[in-house]
Structure 1
Amino acid sequence: MKVALLSLSFRRYHLDKIFEVAGYFGYDGVEIWGGRPQAYPYDMDEARCAHVLELKEKYNLEVPMYTPEVLGYPYNISTPDKKEREETIDYLKKAIDVAKAIGAPRVQLACGHAGYQTNRKQNYQNVLTVMRALTEHAEKVGVDLIMEAVTLMESNTIIFLDDLVELLDDLGSSHVKTMIDTVTPMVHKEVFGDYFEKLGDKMDYIHFIDSDGVSPTHMPVGSGIIPMEALMAVLKKYGYDGWLSSELVSYASEPELSAAREIKSIRKLIEG
């Protein structure tokens, strides 16, 4: 398995700092968050994309995934508003183009909250409308879309394992896959192994963090209630040999300390 550092925890820094830290502490890659000041899609002109390629070469690091911000204003895959859906499609098409330009094989997506007093059936159709447009573009460009199910505190559309199964079945594309954020199954009382049983080779990426079991909080490995050694054993049982990405979004005040600690914790679990 390879280990990535999600740059969101360094959101008060530019990308140069993140690559320097990731390279120094022995990460295999940087999962680039697509927000300012780092890599907002509409800021990523030819020069800035070229700079990412330079950073990859300088620090001998991969960019396994590009992660544009879609869980906050003003973009939302789940929105009932037609104009917002259209703008979200345009924004995420641009993100797909950026991923291609920086050599990232994946773009991570998640569906935000559609709002209260909405209809689940219509909400799902709205998600499909956006995803079909993005899937068509991803197929042309040659980039995979990785849909993450987030917690029910963050969304009311694609949140459970079966939501992922339904969406992937309806889209029917080899360029649409999925992932586990290890917090989500823990909060929803779902079974980790079921993700592999039901999704098979569509299970393509993991955000590997600990959880308090009741909230979306992302905790350092070993500080929550997930038995991380047992979880690693389950991943190995199902033959998972892909990326584990550290996503400590709540540690912006001391991200370098977190990055140094997490790589040691995750490597120890992989090698154990």
Structure 2
Amino acid sequence: MKIGMFTSGYQRNEIEDIFKDAKRFGYDYIELWGGRPHAYPYDLKRGHIDSLLTLRDKYEMPIKVYTPEHNGYPYNYMIGDEYQRKESIEYLKTAIEMGKALGAEYTVISAGHAGYKATRSQIWNRLSKSIRELVEYAQDKDQMILMEALTPFESNVCTTANDLYDLVKYIDSPYFGAMCDIVPPYVQSESIMSYFKKLGKNLKHLHIVDSDGISDTHLLPGEGNIPLKQLLDEITESGYNEGATIELVTAYINEPSLYSKLAIDRLKKLIEC
């Protein structure tokens, strides 16, 4: 299993620190967080992408996944009027284009909160319409999109394996697949392994961290309650051989280098023992 570094926790550091640390700590790839100051889609499009590609080549560290920041910063295609939805879709189209230009295998998206007034049918109609637009654009750019389920603390749209299964089946495109962050199923008492069983070959990517089971906080491996050793054994037994990013977000933003090193050391020990 290839192990990736998520870069959100480095947003207060120089961009080169990300590639330097990923290389010296033994990560296999980077999952690039698409927010400022480092990799905001519109900044990349106006020329900042060149420095990222230079660092990628200098440190021989591939950018396997591009994950643009959205769902309220200020883009969320699931809430607001049609103008706001379209603006969010255009933003994500730019992210898809930049993911392709970065050489990323996948661009990862999710679905933000649709608001408390939205009905199930309204949510589905808006979600399916938006994803179909994005997948058609991704096909034109030859870039695959992966959908991530969020926790119920973050969204009321796509939060479970069944939600992903229904959406992937409905879209039915080789340019659209799913990924699993193990925190959302864990905090709502859903089987993590059900993602593998239900989604099969359409499950293309993982976020591996630990969890306290009561919040959406992403913890270092070993700092929460998930039996990670046993889970990793089950994942291996399932035949999954895609990437797994250690998604440390902002809980460790004060010392990202220290925690990135600790995280991969702990995860590798769990995999090897």
Range of TM-score over shorter length:
over 0.9
For 1:31, the equivalent position in structure 2 comes to 31
How well do the aligned residues superpose, as a CA RMSD in angstroms?
Answer: 1.1
Equivalent position of 2:201 in the other structure:
201
Shift of 1:62: 1.2
2:109 is aligned with 1:96: no
Instruction: Give the aligned partner of residue 61 of structure 2.
Output: 61
1:61-80 deviations in Å (ceiling 9; x for gaps): 11110010113231113224
Q: Which residue of 2 aligns with 1:261?
A: 262
Residue 34 of structure 1, CA deviation: 0.5
Structure 2 partner of 1:271: 272
- The amino acid that maps onto 2:270 is L
- Within 5 Å, which residues of 2 pair with 1:225-240? 225-240=225-240
Secondary structure, in 3 states, of the residue corresponding to 1:64?
A: strand
Count of residue correspondences: 272
SS in 1 for 2:151: coil
Q: Percent identity?
A: 39
Distance 1:46 1:71 in 2: 23
Superposition deviation, residue 124 in structure 1: 1.4
Deviations 1:182-216 (A, max 9, x none): 11110111112211111000111111000011110
Q: Counterparts of 1:13 and 1:247 in 2: how far apart (Å)? A: 17
- Match of 1:44, SS state, is helix
The residue identity in structure 2 corresponding to 1:38 is H
Which residue identity lines up with residue 165 of structure 1 in the other structure? Y
Tell me how far apart the structure 2 counterparts of residues 175 and 7 of structure 1 sit (CA, whole Å). 24
Q: Any conservation in 1 of the 2:77–2:86 contact (CA below 8 Å)?
A: no
Match of residue 81 from structure 1: 81
Contact 1:138 1:145 survives alignment (8 Å): yes
Deviation per CA, 1:162-192: give whole Å up to 9, x if none: 1101111111111111111111110111112
Q: Which residue does 1:71 correspond to in 2?
A: 71
Say whether residues 1:20 and 2:4 are aligned partners.
no
Opposite residue 37 of structure 1, the aligned amino acid is P
Q: Which amino acid aligns with 2:153?
A: M
The answer to whether the Cα contact below 8 Å between 1:77 and 1:130 also exists between their aligned partners in 2 is: yes
The 5-angstrom pairing of residues 109-188 of structure 1 reads 109-188=109-188
Q: Shift of the alpha carbon at 1:46?
A: 6.3
Give unmatched runs, 5+ long, in structure 1.
Answer: none
1:252 maps to 253
Q: Quick check: 1:11–1:37 contact (8 Å CA) kept in 2? A: yes
Q: Secondary structure at the match of 1:65?
A: strand
Structure 1 counterpart of 2:271, one-letter code: I
Partner of residue 211, structure 1: 211
- How far, CA to CA, are the matches of 2:47 and 2:114 in structure 1? 36
Deviation string, structure 1 residues 75-133 (Cα, Å, up to 9, x no partner): 11322421111001100000011011110111110111111122121011111111111
Q: Tell me how far 1:50 sits from its aligned partner.
A: 2.3
- Calculate the TM-score normalised by the size of structure 1: 0.97
Counterpart-to-counterpart distance in 2, 1:267 and 1:48 = 33
Q: CA deviation at 1:269?
A: 2.0
SS class of match (1:177): strand
Structure 2 gaps of 5+ residues are none
Q: Following superposition, which runs of at least 4 residues in structure 1 exceed 4 angstroms of deviation?
A: none
Contact 1:34 1:67 in 2 (8 A): yes
Amino acid at match of 1:265: R
Task: Give the Cα–Cα distance (whole angstroms) in 1 for the partners of residues 70 and 212 of structure 2.
Answer: 24
What amino acid is aligned across from residue 107 of structure 1 in structure 2?
T
State how far apart, in whole Å, the 2-side matches of 1:46 and 1:27 are: 29
